[in-house]
């Protein structure tokens, strides 16, 4: 599934309250598939708990870019992330499973993986992805990360790409597909 042009860009206002989001403010974005169209919903941090998070295919937390701050784009290496995924995909430890899920989403966004579908079985959600290089199919469990786990994965990802994250504009989402 190709993502370019199929996901809306972030909006500067909370979809739940209509309030304009301030530079530097943390907010959440959620992705839904409705009638064959992906829709993005941006919601302020204070309105996020009232959202039906189970209705989203994916959701992520990020910050409104500072207007005076220069954005620095980091290029993640597909091969390195592919190796990380290969090393973690069979892990039974939760921190590794959380990191593996985010790496799989990054690889899908980078078009190294093709997102084929989202499967729900027994209350658990799985991404079904296909490696474009070798056509291998992978089923990656959505670990339903807590806020603390999200923060740890974010720190780990910044460590892998060689930054503390302070000089990097907030990505359009850890689980982003925009």
For residue 167, being part of any structural domain is answered with no
* Statement to judge: residues 115 and 61 lie in one domain: no
For residue 35, being part of any structural domain is answered with yes
* Statement to judge: residues 97 and 130 lie in one domain: yes
Spell out the SS3 assignment of the chain. CCCCCCCCCCCCECCCCCCECCCCCEEEEEEEEECCEEEEEEEECCCHHHCCHHHCCEEEEEECCCCCCCCCCCCCCHHHHHHHHHHHCCCCCHHHHHHHHHHHHHHHHCCCEEEEEEEEECCEEEEEEEECCCCCEEEEECCCCCHHHHHHHHHHHHHHHCCCCCCCCCCCCCCCCC
The pLDDT tens digits of the residues spanning 155-178 come to 777 766 655 554 443 333 334 333
* Statement to judge: residues 60 and 103 lie in one domain: no
* Statement to judge: residues 98 and 154 lie in one domain: yes
Q: Which one has a higher pLDDT value, 60 or 47? A: 47
* Statement to judge: residues 63 and 88 lie in one domain: no
* Statement to judge: residues 89 and 149 lie in one domain: yes
* Statement to judge: residues 55 and 82 lie in one domain: no
Encoded tokens for 160: 């892998």
85, 106 contact by CB (below 8 A) = no
* Statement to judge: residues 115 and 63 lie in one domain: no
Domain region containing 29: 7-67
* Statement to judge: residues 49 and 99 lie in one domain: no
For 93, phi then psi, to 5°, come to -90, 130
* Statement to judge: residues 58 and 91 lie in one domain: no
For residue 96, being part of any structural domain is answered with yes
- Examine the pLDDT at 57 and tell me if it is beyond 60: yes
Q: Which pLDDT value is given to residue 176?
A: 37
- Can you give the pTM of this predicted structure? 0.53
For residue 170, being part of any structural domain is answered with no
* Statement to judge: residues 157 and 85 lie in one domain: yes
The pLDDT tens digits of the residues spanning 119-135 come to 999 889 999 999 999 99
Mean pLDDT of the chain: 79
Please, which pLDDT band fits residue 8 given cuts at 50, 70 and 90? Answer: low
For residue 92, being part of any structural domain is answered with yes
- In percent, the amount of the chain with pLDDT more than 70 equals 77
* Statement to judge: residues 113 and 56 lie in one domain: no
For residue 168, being part of any structural domain is answered with no
For residue 59, being part of any structural domain is answered with yes
Q: Total structural domains in the chain? A: 2
For residue 46, being part of any structural domain is answered with yes
Mean pLDDT value across residues 48-56: 88
């Amino acid at each position: 599934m190709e993502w370019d042009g199929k996901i809306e860009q972030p909006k500067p206002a909370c979809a739940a309250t209509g309030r304009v989001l301030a530079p530097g403010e943390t907010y959440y974005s959620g992705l839904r598939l409705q009638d064959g169209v992906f829709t993005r919903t941006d919601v302020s941090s204070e309105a996020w708990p009232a959202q039906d998070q189970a209705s989203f295919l994916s959701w992520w937390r990020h910050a409104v870019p500072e207007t005076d701050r220069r954005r620095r784009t980091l290029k993640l290496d597909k091969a390195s992330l592919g190796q990380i995924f290969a090393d973690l995909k069979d892990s039974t430890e939760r921190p590794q499973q959380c990191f593996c899920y985010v790496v799989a989403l990054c690889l899908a966004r980078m078009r190294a993986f093709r997102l084929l579908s989202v499967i729900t079985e027994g209350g658990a959600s799985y991404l079904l992805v296909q490696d474009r290089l070798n056509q291998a199919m992978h089923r990656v469990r959505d670990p339903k990360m807590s806020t603390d786990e999200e923060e740890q994965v974010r720190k780990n990802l910044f460590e892998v790409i060689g930054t503390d994250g302070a000089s990097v504009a907030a990505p359009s989402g850890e689980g982003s597909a925009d």
